[in-house]
Structure 1
């Protein structure tokens, strides 16, 4: 394998490879120009080019706590070798942000708000906005849930997952309808159009191993490969849900996270309404249910049963979050 790394670094970047250390995300390479992290890209070429444009915009606007891509010798942010794409990045700090308490999430939220603020003015030829994405998704999942219920009722006997769906059907159908109503109240399409005009993006993985703490206490952000053109508020909603999942989240913590985010990126009334739509919508449960019933089942999957049971717990915490946001 070292021969392969040596070829990638030399042919793609003009670097000499001396040695490497494996990490969870890739390979830390010692080269003649210092340490670099080499990763197999999980995204397509244009996604990587878009992520590169996002990073460069952030860096220009003062958000420097990121790992930028090194360009190849022909000026590309990734290198193709034997049908596989590779990216070479600056090395992030090794210590992940602890997610076991309110203070860590408050620190993360402040960084998230600053990142979203510094993305304004983003320009890229690889931007792809979809103004109908969320309304279409919410409506589609609501229709699918109704079909799944009818399918369960027609088949006669219920297995454990069927019972789980039937027990929660009314609650999640009501929440999905409520989320659609909030989308309309928030004037979602107008918010998308404004985000497009201003230049904005959604990271989609602002969590866990992608958040690293340096020796001087600064919080660095990695994992940009999956980012895309979308309303930044999706990141905040996901981060608040993660706070409720990882801690004994309470209203005070939610208030402090929102306050920290808004230090750099204040929310308007319509955005608060959209945040309510994103938190009340039972995205994870509906996604897993759709995944399960669209496959041919020979028997009940214990793994899926466990995942759905955990999703029910998480959706319960998300309902608490929804009520906290209404109160603050």
Structure 2
């Protein structure tokens, strides 16, 4: 394995490998130019090109608490070896931000707002803005849900997951329709166009291990390999959901997070309407339902039943969050 890492570092980046140490995210390498972390990123080549441009813009605008990509010798923000992509970054601080209190999430929301603010001016050839992406996704998921219900009713022989879906169907379908209406009411397409014009991105993994605390108490952000051209509000919606998942979640905590985020990214009435739509949409449950039925229901595993039951409980929290914001926290 060390021979491969040595080869990647030398052929891809012109660095001499002096040894390494495994971490959860990759391999911390000692090189002739200092410590670097070599990773197998989860994103595609195109998403890594966008991530590189995002990080450069953040640095340019003063958001320095990130781990920058080192370009390979060919100029790409990754090196391709034997069909696998590798990325080389600075080593992140070792302590993850504890997600145990509202105070921690308020700090995280403030950092998220500063990061989104620092993306102003971002223009990347790897950015692909689509004003119909989110409305189209919601519409497809609604159609898929209705199709699954009709198919189950025709068959008439329900398994445990069919029954779970049957019990949740009306509520889920109502939430998807409400989410679609809120996106339309908030002018999702117009807001997206403005974001594309001014410069913006969505991190898509702003949580847990991606947030690291330095010895000075600064929050560093990593895991940019899945970022995309989407409204930054999607990150905020996800982080609010995570707050409710990891803590006892209160309206006061939600208000504090929105205030901290809004210091850097002021939220308009349209933004708050779109945010409510993102929160009420039962994303995780529908994704799991789609995954299960697309596999032709080979078996009804207890693990899948539990995942779906847990997701259903999470979606109820999404509605609570939506109602909190609607009432002005």
TM-score, normalized by length of structure 2? 0.98
Deviation at 1:76, TM superposition (A): 2.2
Mapped partners of 1:137, 1:42: distance in 2 = 22
Whether 1:274 aligns to 2:263 is no
- The CA distance in 2 between the partners of 1:298 and 1:144, in whole Å, is 19
Where 2:263 maps in the other structure, the secondary structure is: coil
Stretch deviating more after TM superposition (286-295 or 213-222): 286-295
CA distance in 2, matches of 1:186, 1:88: 40
CA-based RMSD:
1.0
Residue 42 of structure 1, CA deviation: 2.6
Stretches of structure 1 lacking an aligned partner (at least 5 in a row): none
Alignment of structure 1 residues 123-272 onto 2, 5 Å:
123-272=123-272
Q: Whole-Å Cα distance in 2 between the matches of residues 222 and 144 of structure 1?
A: 34
Q: 1:75, CA displacement in angstroms? A: 2.3
CA distance in 2, matches of 1:299, 1:39: 35
- Map of 2:83 onto structure 1: 83
1:20 is paired with a residue whose SS is strand
Deviation at 1:2, TM superposition (A): 0.6
Q: TM-score scaled to structure 1, two decimals?
A: 0.98
Q: Which residue does 2:64 correspond to in 1?
A: 64
Residues 8-27 of structure 1 correspond to what in structure 2 (within 5 A)?
A: 8-27=8-27
CA distance in 2, matches of 1:49, 1:183: 29
Offset at residue 118 of structure 1 (A): 0.4
Report the alpha carbon displacement of residue 283 of structure 1 after superposing the two structures with TM. 1.0
Q: Partners of 2:5 and 2:299 in 1: how far apart?
A: 44
Which one is further off, 46-55 or 210-219? 46-55
Please name the residue that 1:300 is paired with. 300
- Whole-Å Cα distance in 2 between the matches of residues 44 and 149 of structure 1? 34
**Cα distance in 2, alignment partners of residues 230 and 187 from structure 1:** 14
Deviation at 1:43, TM superposition (A): 2.4
**Alignment-derived partner of residue 29 in structure 2:** 29
Distance 1:81 1:298, change over 3 A: closer
Q: Which one is further off, 185-194 or 6-15? A: 6-15
Alignment partner, residue 39 of structure 1: 39
**Equivalent position SS for 1:86:** strand
Residues 29-64 of structure 1 show CA distances to partners (whole Å, capped at 9, x for unaligned) of 011111100011332222211110000000000000
Q: Partners in 2 of 1:177 and 1:71 — Cα distance?
A: 44
- Runs of 5+ in structure 2 lacking a partner? none
Match of 1:288 in 2: 288
Question: Per-residue displacement from partner, 1:277-309 (whole Å, max 9, x unpaired)?
Answer: 001111111111111112222331211111100
Per-residue CA deviations over 1:164-206 (Å, capped at 9, x if unaligned) read 1111111111111111111111011101110111111000000
